[in-house]
Amino acid sequence: MTTPPPAGYSAPDLERWVPEPPKSQARTPFQRDRARVLHSSALRRLGAKTQVLGAGSNDFVRTRLTHSLEVAQVGRDIGAELGCDPDIVDAACLSHDLGHPPFGHNGEKVLDELAADFGGFEGNAQTLRLLTRLEPKVVGEDRPYGLNLTRASVDAAIKYPWTRGQGPDPSSVKFGAYADDLDVYTWAREGAVPGRQCFEAQVMDLADDVAYSVHDIEDAITGLTLDLKGLQDPMERAAALYVVQDWYMPGESLDALDEALMRLEAEPSWMPTFDGSMRSAAALKDMTSQLIGRFTRSAISATRATHGQDAMSRYAGEMVVPEQTHLEIAVLKGLAAAYVMSSASQRPVYEAQEEIIRDLFSRLWNTGTQHLSPLFAELWQSATDDDVRRRVVVDQIASYTDVTARRLHAVLFDRDLTHITAADTPLPGLGSEL
């Protein structure tokens, strides 16, 4: 029996790239999609991948996994409020960082340089690759098909709906699909407006920005790398806002960014000091909660004011984020960048991470299948040329957690292993998962 599409969706939205036998109607196709992502090994690995502060550097610091869970909660609430299927949004939010390699954006940058001659590397394009090829769920005679999600769910996970160099800003390094994944990308985008995210992807994108901005500030404060009262010093404030402008808002004036920061500071929940006490921790949690509510309410209200009360899904409707809200989110993201990512203390860390990625790529490429996990060894053996084999090496490295990358590098290059705990991930090649 064919499952009828939910309101706001059509039969093509429910199609999977590879047709599957009919399933029980106890769950909708979109609920199945969410479950497939939730149970994926790629999602579990995010638990040991860097968000902002290094995974494992602090017992309470967020990882890519906890960030993704928080994005899913924010996105599901926004989607339900605006009328799109919450399970599609949930699946997209859980998926949005699956393709990120070890060491966060630093690892992404190095892999992009290493892969420059065969299509580059981009975490969001890697997410599509995982969902539709690398994560083992459905395997055909000719190739693996990943989780084989519905068209609507795959499209919702595509944050940048264009290939390299084809986006609105040709100089941007962001893109959503590699050349050898164009077949499934084209299938997922059937009926889409070129260059435009579907509505569910817009919800995911907003939820990511909201969670990223607010929670990274919370982590920086609890990690004692950011003291908000320091922003009262004019020199420190100007330096921090310059980083905000440089990283996220190059076309915006420092005065406009300063005004956005002042609006946030005027909020009753804004707390300039944190001492780690129970009362202080509760106040910080209230601040994060109030900021999330401020940003989501602003976007929901603006979207409703533009589109009315009709349910929005797929390509019916557009998420509206007021400019003031956009600037406030950017300021919080930029403060995290100023006090964590661009901190001078992080430079030696970044250099060590870059060395690990480059060394692993060289060793894995020159040793064939010797150090690849069984899944990637199989892909190497079926590769048709060296560029495909190099892509297999990149796929393998991208699958590593921070801990696994460090541990394998230590083993392959005879480094000290005393800082690696027995509970860390087993070495690649010894298990059956990615």
**Whole-angstrom Cα distance, residue 182 to residue 376?**
21
Angle ∠(63,208,406) on CA atoms, nearest 5: 25
**Six token digits for residue 87:** 């399970």
List where CATH 1.10.3210.10 sits in the chain: 11-188
Interval 57-110: pLDDT, tens: 455 567 899 999 999 999 999 999 999 999 999 999 999 999 999 998 899 999
Looking at the domain that runs over 11-188, which CATH code has it been given?
A: 1.10.3210.10
Burial class (CB in 10 A: 0-12, 13-18, 19+), 311: middle
pTM comes to 0.91
Residue from 127, 194, 191 nearest 154 by CA: 127
pLDDT in tens for each of the 434 residues of the chain? 566 788 889 999 999 999 998 877 788 999 999 999 999 999 999 998 875 555 444 555 678 999 999 999 999 999 999 999 999 999 999 999 999 999 988 999 999 999 999 999 999 999 999 999 999 898 888 889 999 999 999 999 999 999 998 989 877 889 999 999 999 999 999 989 899 999 999 999 999 999 999 998 998 898 888 889 999 999 999 999 999 999 999 989 999 999 999 999 999 999 988 998 999 999 999 999 999 999 999 999 999 999 999 999 999 989 999 999 999 999 999 998 888 866 666 678 889 999 999 999 999 999 999 999 999 999 999 999 999 999 999 999 999 999 999 999 999 997 655 554 443 444 444 333 44
- Residue 217: how many other CB atoms lie within 10 Å: 25
Q: What are phi and psi of 340, to 5 degrees?
A: -125, -70
Angle ∠(278,281,285) on CA atoms, nearest 5: 135
Residue in the block written with tokens 């017992």: 59
Question: What sign does the CA torsion over 424, 429, 433, 434 have?
Answer: positive
Gyration radius of the chain's alpha carbons? 22
What sections of 96-177 are H helices per DSSP?
104-114, 123-129, 151-156
